Amino acid sequence: LTTPFVIALDAMGGDKAPQSVLSGAAMAIERHPGIQYLLFGDEERLKPMLAKLPKLAACAEIRHTAAVVSPSEKPSQALRRGRDSSMRRAIDAVAAGEAVGVVSGGNTGALMAMSKFVLHTLPGIDRPAIAGIFPTINGEAVVLDLGANIECDANNLVQFAVMGAAFARSVLGLPNPTVGLLNVGEEELKGNDTVRLAAQILRGTPLPLEFIGFIEGDDITKGTSDVVVTDGFTGNIALRSAEGSAKLCFQFLRQAFGQSLLARLGYLLARAELNRMRQRLNPQNYNGGVFLGLNGISVKSHGGSDAHGFAAAVGVAAAMAKDQLKQRIIEDVKRFGGVAESPSQAAAQ
Protein backbone atom coordinates (compact mmCIF):
# COMPACT_ATOMS: atom_id res chain seq x y z
CA LEU A 1 0.00 0.00 0.00
CA THR A 2 1.39 3.42 -0.93
CA THR A 3 0.74 5.93 1.80
CA PRO A 4 -0.82 8.93 0.00
CA PHE A 5 -4.00 7.10 -0.97
CA VAL A 6 -4.54 4.67 1.86
CA ILE A 7 -7.77 5.35 3.72
CA ALA A 8 -8.67 3.58 6.95
CA LEU A 9 -12.32 2.53 7.14
CA ASP A 10 -14.33 1.80 10.26
CA ALA A 11 -16.08 -1.13 8.59
CA MET A 12 -18.46 -1.63 11.53
CA GLY A 13 -19.79 1.95 11.89
CA GLY A 14 -23.28 2.81 10.63
CA ASP A 15 -26.75 1.24 10.58
CA LYS A 16 -26.11 -0.77 7.41
CA ALA A 17 -22.45 -1.62 8.15
CA PRO A 18 -20.42 -3.53 7.20
CA GLN A 19 -22.21 -4.12 3.85
CA SER A 20 -22.77 -0.40 3.11
CA VAL A 21 -19.13 0.33 3.96
CA LEU A 22 -17.70 -2.32 1.66
CA SER A 23 -20.05 -1.59 -1.23
CA GLY A 24 -19.43 2.14 -0.83
CA ALA A 25 -15.66 1.64 -0.73
CA ALA A 26 -15.92 -0.40 -3.93
CA MET A 27 -17.89 2.38 -5.65
CA ALA A 28 -15.37 5.01 -4.59
CA ILE A 29 -12.56 3.11 -6.36
CA GLU A 30 -14.23 3.77 -9.71
CA ARG A 31 -14.32 7.52 -9.06
CA HIS A 32 -10.92 7.82 -7.35
CA PRO A 33 -8.51 5.32 -8.90
CA GLY A 34 -5.44 4.80 -6.73
CA ILE A 35 -7.30 4.59 -3.43
CA GLN A 36 -6.37 1.71 -1.14
CA TYR A 37 -8.08 0.70 2.07
CA LEU A 38 -7.43 -0.67 5.49
CA LEU A 39 -10.69 -2.25 6.66
CA PHE A 40 -11.08 -2.38 10.44
CA GLY A 41 -13.73 -4.79 11.68
CA ASP A 42 -14.86 -8.32 12.29
CA GLU A 43 -12.77 -10.43 9.91
CA GLU A 44 -15.25 -13.29 9.86
CA ARG A 45 -18.01 -11.04 8.60
CA LEU A 46 -15.83 -8.97 6.29
CA LYS A 47 -14.05 -11.81 4.48
CA PRO A 48 -17.02 -13.36 2.66
CA MET A 49 -18.33 -9.90 1.71
CA LEU A 50 -14.95 -8.89 0.36
CA ALA A 51 -14.74 -12.13 -1.65
CA LYS A 52 -17.80 -10.94 -3.59
CA LEU A 53 -16.14 -7.60 -4.42
CA PRO A 54 -12.93 -8.63 -6.23
CA LYS A 55 -11.98 -5.11 -7.35
CA LEU A 56 -12.18 -3.94 -3.75
CA ALA A 57 -10.37 -7.05 -2.47
CA ALA A 58 -7.46 -6.21 -4.78
CA CYS A 59 -6.77 -2.96 -2.98
CA ALA A 60 -7.97 -3.60 0.57
CA GLU A 61 -6.52 -5.25 3.64
CA ILE A 62 -8.65 -6.44 6.56
CA ARG A 63 -7.44 -5.65 10.09
CA HIS A 64 -9.44 -7.68 12.56
CA THR A 65 -11.08 -5.90 15.48
CA ALA A 66 -13.65 -7.48 17.79
CA ALA A 67 -15.08 -4.39 19.55
CA VAL A 68 -17.49 -1.80 18.16
CA VAL A 69 -18.38 1.64 19.53
CA SER A 70 -22.16 1.63 20.00
CA PRO A 71 -24.25 4.55 18.68
CA SER A 72 -25.44 5.36 22.20
CA GLU A 73 -22.02 5.37 23.86
CA LYS A 74 -20.92 8.71 25.32
CA PRO A 75 -17.73 10.18 23.85
CA SER A 76 -15.95 9.94 27.21
CA GLN A 77 -16.93 6.26 27.59
CA ALA A 78 -15.82 5.50 24.04
CA LEU A 79 -12.48 7.15 24.72
CA ARG A 80 -11.92 5.03 27.84
CA ARG A 81 -13.39 1.69 26.78
CA GLY A 82 -13.16 1.75 22.99
CA ARG A 83 -9.40 1.35 22.55
CA ASP A 84 -9.78 -1.88 20.59
CA SER A 85 -12.81 -0.81 18.58
CA SER A 86 -12.87 -0.69 14.79
CA MET A 87 -13.31 3.08 14.96
CA ARG A 88 -10.37 3.69 17.27
CA ARG A 89 -8.03 1.32 15.48
CA ALA A 90 -8.85 3.02 12.15
CA ILE A 91 -7.97 6.41 13.67
CA ASP A 92 -4.77 4.94 15.18
CA ALA A 93 -3.74 3.86 11.67
CA VAL A 94 -3.84 7.53 10.60
CA ALA A 95 -1.74 8.59 13.60
CA ALA A 96 0.75 5.80 12.81
CA GLY A 97 1.13 7.06 9.25
CA GLU A 98 -0.35 3.92 7.72
CA ALA A 99 -3.28 5.85 6.28
CA VAL A 100 -3.93 9.50 5.38
CA GLY A 101 -7.43 9.50 6.70
CA VAL A 102 -10.27 7.67 8.37
CA VAL A 103 -13.93 7.38 7.33
CA SER A 104 -16.59 6.16 9.77
CA GLY A 105 -20.38 6.01 9.81
CA GLY A 106 -20.37 5.35 13.56
CA ASN A 107 -21.09 7.44 16.66
CA THR A 108 -20.31 11.10 15.78
CA GLY A 109 -19.35 12.26 19.26
CA ALA A 110 -17.04 9.28 19.76
CA LEU A 111 -15.39 9.80 16.36
CA MET A 112 -14.82 13.47 17.16
CA ALA A 113 -13.44 12.81 20.65
CA MET A 114 -11.19 9.96 19.52
CA SER A 115 -9.97 11.83 16.42
CA LYS A 116 -9.10 14.85 18.54
CA PHE A 117 -7.42 12.73 21.19
CA VAL A 118 -5.41 10.60 18.77
CA LEU A 119 -4.66 12.99 15.93
CA HIS A 120 -4.37 16.31 17.83
CA THR A 121 -5.03 19.69 16.24
CA LEU A 122 -2.83 21.24 13.56
CA PRO A 123 -0.29 23.88 14.60
CA GLY A 124 -2.04 27.26 14.78
CA ILE A 125 -5.52 25.78 15.15
CA ASP A 126 -7.11 26.11 18.59
CA ARG A 127 -10.14 23.92 17.93
CA PRO A 128 -11.20 21.57 15.17
CA ALA A 129 -14.60 22.15 13.56
CA ILE A 130 -17.17 19.97 11.80
CA ALA A 131 -17.75 21.04 8.20
CA GLY A 132 -20.50 19.85 5.87
CA ILE A 133 -21.37 20.34 2.20
CA PHE A 134 -24.89 21.54 1.38
CA PRO A 135 -26.95 22.01 -1.75
CA THR A 136 -27.68 25.57 -2.89
CA ILE A 137 -29.73 26.97 -5.75
CA ASN A 138 -26.64 27.29 -7.92
CA GLY A 139 -24.34 24.57 -6.55
CA GLU A 140 -22.91 23.67 -3.16
CA ALA A 141 -21.66 25.44 -0.06
CA VAL A 142 -19.41 24.44 2.84
CA VAL A 143 -20.88 25.18 6.27
CA LEU A 144 -18.93 25.04 9.53
CA ASP A 145 -18.98 24.58 12.54
CA LEU A 146 -21.87 22.11 12.68
CA GLY A 147 -21.62 21.34 16.37
CA ALA A 148 -18.08 20.65 17.58
CA ASN A 149 -17.74 23.93 19.46
CA ILE A 150 -20.72 25.24 21.39
CA GLU A 151 -19.00 28.45 22.39
CA CYS A 152 -16.57 30.17 20.05
CA ASP A 153 -14.53 33.35 20.24
CA ALA A 154 -13.65 35.55 17.27
CA ASN A 155 -10.33 33.76 16.79
CA ASN A 156 -12.08 30.40 16.47
CA LEU A 157 -14.43 31.82 13.82
CA VAL A 158 -11.50 33.27 11.88
CA GLN A 159 -9.73 29.90 11.93
CA PHE A 160 -12.95 28.22 10.76
CA ALA A 161 -13.01 30.66 7.82
CA VAL A 162 -9.44 29.76 6.88
CA MET A 163 -10.08 26.01 7.19
CA GLY A 164 -13.43 26.22 5.39
CA ALA A 165 -11.90 28.11 2.48
CA ALA A 166 -9.05 25.57 2.19
CA PHE A 167 -11.65 22.78 2.26
CA ALA A 168 -13.76 24.47 -0.44
CA ARG A 169 -10.69 24.75 -2.64
CA SER A 170 -9.94 21.03 -2.21
CA VAL A 171 -13.38 19.51 -2.33
CA LEU A 172 -15.43 21.97 -4.39
CA GLY A 173 -12.45 22.89 -6.59
CA LEU A 174 -12.88 26.65 -6.17
CA PRO A 175 -9.61 28.60 -6.51
CA ASN A 176 -10.80 31.66 -4.57
CA PRO A 177 -13.83 30.77 -2.44
CA THR A 178 -16.08 33.46 -1.00
CA VAL A 179 -16.64 33.31 2.76
CA GLY A 180 -19.64 34.69 4.66
CA LEU A 181 -20.13 34.99 8.41
CA LEU A 182 -23.60 33.98 9.59
CA ASN A 183 -25.44 36.79 11.40
CA VAL A 184 -28.90 38.25 11.97
CA GLY A 185 -28.41 41.00 9.40
CA GLU A 186 -25.95 42.21 6.81
CA GLU A 187 -25.08 45.57 8.37
CA GLU A 188 -21.69 45.92 10.09
CA LEU A 189 -23.27 46.79 13.43
CA LYS A 190 -25.52 43.71 13.61
CA GLY A 191 -24.90 40.73 15.87
CA ASN A 192 -22.83 40.14 18.97
CA ASP A 193 -19.27 41.22 19.82
CA THR A 194 -17.83 37.88 18.68
CA VAL A 195 -19.09 38.00 15.08
CA ARG A 196 -18.31 41.71 14.76
CA LEU A 197 -14.71 41.17 15.92
CA ALA A 198 -14.29 38.12 13.66
CA ALA A 199 -15.55 40.16 10.69
CA GLN A 200 -13.13 42.94 11.52
CA ILE A 201 -10.19 40.49 11.51
CA LEU A 202 -11.37 38.77 8.32
CA ARG A 203 -11.70 42.06 6.44
CA GLY A 204 -7.91 42.41 6.64
CA THR A 205 -7.14 38.89 5.38
CA PRO A 206 -4.14 38.35 3.10
CA LEU A 207 -5.41 34.83 2.26
CA PRO A 208 -6.78 33.34 -0.94
CA LEU A 209 -10.32 33.76 0.30
CA GLU A 210 -12.80 36.51 -0.40
CA PHE A 211 -14.61 37.62 2.74
CA ILE A 212 -18.00 38.99 1.73
CA GLY A 213 -19.10 39.99 5.24
CA PHE A 214 -22.22 39.03 7.15
CA ILE A 215 -24.84 36.79 5.60
CA GLU A 216 -28.24 35.62 6.90
CA GLY A 217 -29.73 32.17 7.36
CA ASP A 218 -31.45 32.02 3.97
CA ASP A 219 -28.17 32.93 2.24
CA ILE A 220 -26.95 29.36 2.89
CA THR A 221 -29.28 27.81 0.29
CA LYS A 222 -29.15 30.92 -1.91
CA GLY A 223 -25.46 30.18 -2.39
CA THR A 224 -24.51 33.76 -1.45
CA SER A 225 -21.07 32.52 -0.33
CA ASP A 226 -19.12 29.29 -0.97
CA VAL A 227 -18.23 28.99 2.71
CA VAL A 228 -20.57 29.75 5.62
CA VAL A 229 -18.88 30.31 8.99
CA THR A 230 -20.66 30.16 12.35
CA ASP A 231 -20.27 28.76 15.87
CA GLY A 232 -21.22 25.14 16.54
CA PHE A 233 -24.39 25.99 18.49
CA THR A 234 -25.92 28.15 15.77
CA GLY A 235 -24.56 25.98 12.95
CA ASN A 236 -26.02 22.77 14.33
CA ILE A 237 -29.44 24.33 14.93
CA ALA A 238 -29.49 26.09 11.54
CA LEU A 239 -28.60 22.86 9.74
CA ARG A 240 -31.15 20.78 11.59
CA SER A 241 -33.84 23.44 11.08
CA ALA A 242 -33.11 23.48 7.34
CA GLU A 243 -33.25 19.67 7.19
CA GLY A 244 -36.55 19.72 9.09
CA SER A 245 -37.96 22.26 6.67
CA ALA A 246 -36.97 20.13 3.64
CA LYS A 247 -38.60 17.09 5.26
CA LEU A 248 -41.77 19.11 5.83
CA CYS A 249 -41.83 20.07 2.14
CA PHE A 250 -41.56 16.42 1.08
CA GLN A 251 -44.24 15.42 3.57
CA PHE A 252 -46.63 18.08 2.25
CA LEU A 253 -45.70 17.13 -1.32
CA ARG A 254 -46.55 13.48 -0.65
CA GLN A 255 -49.88 14.52 0.86
CA ALA A 256 -50.59 16.79 -2.11
CA PHE A 257 -50.03 13.96 -4.60
CA GLY A 258 -52.31 11.69 -2.61
CA GLN A 259 -55.20 14.12 -2.50
CA SER A 260 -56.90 13.42 -5.83
CA LEU A 261 -56.87 10.90 -8.65
CA LEU A 262 -55.54 13.54 -11.05
CA ALA A 263 -52.76 14.49 -8.66
CA ARG A 264 -51.79 10.83 -8.30
CA LEU A 265 -51.67 10.50 -12.08
CA GLY A 266 -49.62 13.69 -12.23
CA TYR A 267 -47.17 12.19 -9.77
CA LEU A 268 -46.77 9.07 -11.92
CA LEU A 269 -45.99 11.15 -14.98
CA ALA A 270 -43.42 13.33 -13.19
CA ARG A 271 -42.03 10.56 -11.00
CA ALA A 272 -38.61 10.23 -12.62
CA GLU A 273 -37.92 13.96 -12.39
CA LEU A 274 -39.30 14.17 -8.85
CA ASN A 275 -37.03 11.36 -7.71
CA ARG A 276 -34.06 13.12 -9.26
CA MET A 277 -35.05 16.29 -7.38
CA ARG A 278 -35.29 14.32 -4.16
CA GLN A 279 -31.77 13.03 -4.76
CA ARG A 280 -30.49 16.59 -5.18
CA LEU A 281 -31.79 17.38 -1.71
CA ASN A 282 -30.83 14.06 -0.15
CA PRO A 283 -28.30 14.60 2.64
CA GLN A 284 -26.68 11.30 1.68
CA ASN A 285 -25.31 12.92 -1.46
CA TYR A 286 -23.76 15.60 0.67
CA ASN A 287 -22.39 13.02 2.97
CA GLY A 288 -19.16 13.36 4.83
CA GLY A 289 -19.24 15.70 7.79
CA VAL A 290 -15.55 16.47 8.04
CA PHE A 291 -13.47 17.25 11.11
CA LEU A 292 -11.24 20.10 9.99
CA GLY A 293 -8.14 21.26 11.84
CA LEU A 294 -6.85 17.84 12.90
CA ASN A 295 -3.46 16.40 12.04
CA GLY A 296 -5.06 13.80 9.76
CA ILE A 297 -8.23 13.44 7.73
CA SER A 298 -11.31 12.30 9.66
CA VAL A 299 -14.63 12.06 7.83
CA LYS A 300 -17.98 11.16 9.32
CA SER A 301 -20.51 9.43 7.07
CA HIS A 302 -24.23 9.65 7.97
CA GLY A 303 -25.11 6.79 10.32
CA GLY A 304 -28.07 5.79 8.18
CA SER A 305 -26.33 6.12 4.83
CA ASP A 306 -26.26 3.43 2.17
CA ALA A 307 -23.34 2.48 -0.08
CA HIS A 308 -23.80 5.63 -2.21
CA GLY A 309 -23.61 7.82 0.85
CA PHE A 310 -20.53 6.04 2.15
CA ALA A 311 -18.87 6.35 -1.27
CA ALA A 312 -19.50 10.11 -1.17
CA ALA A 313 -17.81 10.32 2.24
CA VAL A 314 -14.81 8.35 0.95
CA GLY A 315 -14.70 10.72 -2.02
CA VAL A 316 -14.45 13.71 0.30
CA ALA A 317 -11.55 12.08 2.17
CA ALA A 318 -9.84 11.27 -1.15
CA ALA A 319 -10.19 14.86 -2.40
CA MET A 320 -8.71 16.19 0.83
CA ALA A 321 -5.81 13.74 0.59
CA LYS A 322 -5.05 14.45 -3.07
CA ASP A 323 -5.08 18.17 -2.45
CA GLN A 324 -2.91 17.88 0.67
CA LEU A 325 -5.46 19.90 2.58
CA LYS A 326 -3.57 19.50 5.84
CA GLN A 327 -0.50 21.28 4.45
CA ARG A 328 -2.68 23.99 2.98
CA ILE A 329 -4.35 24.72 6.30
CA ILE A 330 -1.02 24.79 8.14
CA GLU A 331 0.40 27.24 5.60
CA ASP A 332 -2.69 29.42 5.43
CA VAL A 333 -2.90 29.72 9.18
CA LYS A 334 0.82 30.48 9.36
CA ARG A 335 0.57 33.14 6.63
CA PHE A 336 -2.50 34.54 8.26
CA GLY A 337 -0.44 34.88 11.46
CA GLY A 338 -1.04 37.70 13.90
CA VAL A 339 -4.67 36.70 14.53
CA ALA A 340 -4.12 35.89 18.15
CA GLU A 341 -1.99 39.01 18.58
CA SER A 342 -4.46 41.47 17.03
CA PRO A 343 -4.88 44.27 19.62
CA SER A 344 -8.68 44.16 19.72
CA GLN A 345 -8.54 40.39 20.17
CA ALA A 346 -6.08 40.70 23.04
CA ALA A 347 -8.34 43.29 24.62
CA ALA A 348 -11.32 40.97 24.31
CA GLN A 349 -9.58 38.17 26.14
- Interacting residue with its own copies among 219, 227, 290, 345 (CB under 8 A): 219
Of 59 and 281, the one with the shorter C-beta distance to its own copies is 281
Should residue 348 be labelled a site residue for its own copies when binding is judged by CB under 8 A? no
Half-sphere exposure of 348 (CA within 13 A, CB side): 19
**Site map for its own copies, 76-95, x if CB under 8 A?**
--------------------
Whichever of 230 and 298 has its CB closer to its own copies, that residue is: 230
Strands (E), 201-349: 210-215, 227-229, 289-292, 297-300
Q: Is 233 in the site for its own copies (CB under 8 A)?
A: yes
Tell me the closest approach of the beta carbon of residue 276 to its own copies, in angstroms. 7
b/e for 63-74, b at 16 or more Cβ within 10 A? bebebbbeeebe
Q: Looking at 54, 58, 137, 341, which residue binds its own copies (CB under 8 A)?
A: 137
Q: Find the shortest distance in angstroms from Cβ 21 to its own copies.
A: 25
Q: Which of 1, 66, 96, 256 binds its own copies (CB under 8 A)?
A: 256
| Beta bridge partner(s), residue 292 | 129
Residue type at position 89? R
Residue 259 is a binding residue for its own copies (CB under 8 A): yes
User: Phi and psi dihedrals of 211, rounded to 5?
Assistant: -80, 120
Alpha carbons 137 and 142: distance in angstroms, whole number: 14
With binding defined as CB under 8 A, does residue 132 bind its own copies? no
Assess 14 for contact with its own copies (CB under 8 A). Answer: no
For residue 149, the minimal CB distance to its own copies (Å) is 10
- Asked if 280 interacts with its own copies (CB under 8 A), we say yes
Kindly provide the residue ranges of all beta strands, DSSP E only, lying in 120-184, ordered along the sequence: 129-136, 139-144, 178-182
Q: How far is the CB of 178 from its own copies (least distance, A)?
A: 17
Q: How far apart are CA 218 and CA 200, in angstroms?
A: 23
The residues, ordered by sequence, that sit 6+ positions from 137 with a Cβ below 8 Å of its Cβ are 221, 222, 223
**Contact region with its own copies (CB under 8 A), list: 20-28, 52-60, 200-208, 235-243:** 235-243
Please give the Cα distance from 300 to 98 (Å, whole number): 19
The residue within the footprint of its own copies, chosen from 218, 343, 346, 349 (CB under 8 A), is: 218
The region of 53-61, 121-129, 160-168, 248-256 touching its own copies under the rule CB under 8 A is: 248-256
* Binding residue (CB under 8 A) for its own copies from 3, 70, 176, 245: 245
User: CA–CA separation, 208 vs 332, rounded Å?
Assistant: 9
Closer of 1 and 265 to its own copies (Cβ): 265
**Binder to its own copies among 51, 66, 277, 348 (CB under 8 A)?**
277
Query: Residue 136 in contact with residue 172, Cβ under 8 Å?
Result: no
CB-side exposure of 137: number of CA atoms within 13 Å?
A: 8
Cβ contact 217:136 at 8 Å: no
> Is 147 a binder of its own copies (CB under 8 A)?
yes
Per CB under 8 A, residues contacting its own copies are 135-137, 147, 150-151, 182-184, 191-192, 216-222, 230, 232-234, 236-253, 255-257, 259-260, 262-263, 265-274, 276-277, 280-281
